[in-house]
């Protein structure tokens, strides 16, 4: 594993995946830099 000088220190993370109305949903919550776990990124992938 390698880190960059500008990378945030991550204390915890949580991923969640789900199938909603035929789409794949993804969410990632992250605790970094002394903050509590909070939403960081999410995506909804639709089937073509």
pLDDT tens for residues 20-46?
999 999 999 999 989 999 999 999 999
CB of 28 closer than 8 Å to CB of 18: no
Q: What is the pLDDT of residue 38?
A: 96
Q: What is the pLDDT of residue 13?
A: 94
The token pair at 25 is 């949903």
Long-range CB contact pairs, 3-11, < 8 A, 24+: 8/32, 8/33, 9/33
Beta bridge partners of 13: 30
The pTM of the full predicted model, rounded to 2 decimals, is 0.74
Q: What is the pLDDT of residue 2?
A: 76
Domain locations in the chain?
10-45
d(CA 41, CA 9): 17
Which pLDDT band, with edges at 50, 70 and 90, does 9 fall under? confident
Q: What is the pLDDT of residue 1?
A: 66
């Amino acid at each position: 594993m390698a880190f960059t000088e500008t990378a945030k220190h991550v204390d915890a993370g949580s991923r969640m995946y789900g199938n909603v109305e035929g789409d794949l949903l993804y969410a990632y919550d992250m605790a970094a830099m002394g903050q509590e776990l909070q939403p960081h990124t999410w995506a909804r992938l639709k089937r073509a």
